Copies of this chain bind each other. A is one copy, B any other.
Amino acid sequence: MADSLAELQEALDALIEERNWAQFHAPKNLAMGVAIEAAEIMEHFQWCTADESYSLPREKRVEVANEIGDVLLYLLGLGRTLDIDIIAAARDKLALIRERRPVEKTAGGRTAKYVDLD
């Protein structure tokens, strides 16, 4: 996996700077962007079953990757504007899940069904 977000962040910053787009990128608008693009990911999964969703046709897979890229870009932009480190935020969240959903209470996946990542 490509590992570095720093490089991506720089490329995104340059793109926005060159186009003078920062003026439109209030956190409110970027948060809308994350949600809009997330819905575009979902669109590709609306009518398939959970099982089918594992094996997308090649063309659809490219489109999903495209929308995933959009969500990550908006998320990075939002983090930047609010001075939130998105990787640190996810790491903190993982620690919180470990605490709230200890293995001994969820192992076997018996209770997992109603347990999610938040």
Contacts and interface: CB of A to CB of B under 8 A. Distances in A.
B61 A47 contact: no
A46 to B, nearest CB: 5
Contacts of A67: 118
A26 B2 contact: no
Interface residues of A, number: 91
Nearest to A105: B19
Which of A15, A51, A90, A117: most chain B Cβ within 10 A?
A90
Contacts of A73: 90, 93-94, 117
Contact of A81 (B4, B20, B54, B71): B54
A112 B19 contact: yes
Contact of A117 (B35, B74, B93, B106): B74
